[in-house]
Amino acid sequence: MTTEKQMRFEVGDAGEVSAILLWPADAGCLLVLAHGAGAGMRHSFMEEMAEELAGAKVATLRFNFPYMEQRRKVPDRAPVPTEAVLAAVRAAAEAAPELPLFAGGKSYGGRMTSQAVADTSRTADASLAKVRGVVFFGFPLHPPGQPSTKRAEHLARVKLPMLFLQGTRDKLADLSLLRPICAKLGSRATLHIIETADHSFHVLKSSGKTDAEVMREMARTVGDWTDKIIRQESE
pLDDT in tens, 104-145: 999 999 999 999 999 865 555 777 889 999 999 999 999 999
Mean pLDDT, the chain, integer: 96
Rounded to two decimals, what is the model's pTM?
Answer: 0.96
Is residue 153's pLDDT more than 70? Answer: yes
Reported as a single tens digit per residue, the pLDDT across 197-233 is: 999 999 999 999 999 999 999 999 999 999 999 999 8
pLDDT at 121 (0 to 100): 59
Average pLDDT over residues 187-194: 98
Sheet containing 29-34, strands listed edge to edge, beginning at the edge strand earlier in sequence = 2-10, 16-24, 58-63, 29-34, 101-106, 131-137, 162-167, 189-194
Asked if 211 and 202 count as a contact pair (C-beta separation under 8 A), the reply is yes
pLDDT at 123 (0 to 100): 54
Positive or negative, the Cα torsion across 86, 88, 90, 92?
negative
Is residue 174's pLDDT more than 90? Answer: yes
Domains in the chain, please, with CATH?
Answer: 2-234 (3.40.50.1820)
Helices 44-55 and 211-234 pack at an angle, to 10 degrees, of 50
pLDDT at 120 (0 to 100): 62
pLDDT at 79 (0 to 100): 93
pLDDT at 126 (0 to 100): 77
Cis peptide before 79 (omega within 30 of 0): yes
pLDDT at 119 (0 to 100): 83
Task: Please report the DSSP string for 170-227 in residue order.
Answer: -TT--HHHHHHHHHHHGGGEEEEEETT--TT----GGGT--HHHHHHHHHHHHHHHHH
* C-alpha span between 36 and 65 (Å, rounded): 10
pLDDT at 124 (0 to 100): 56
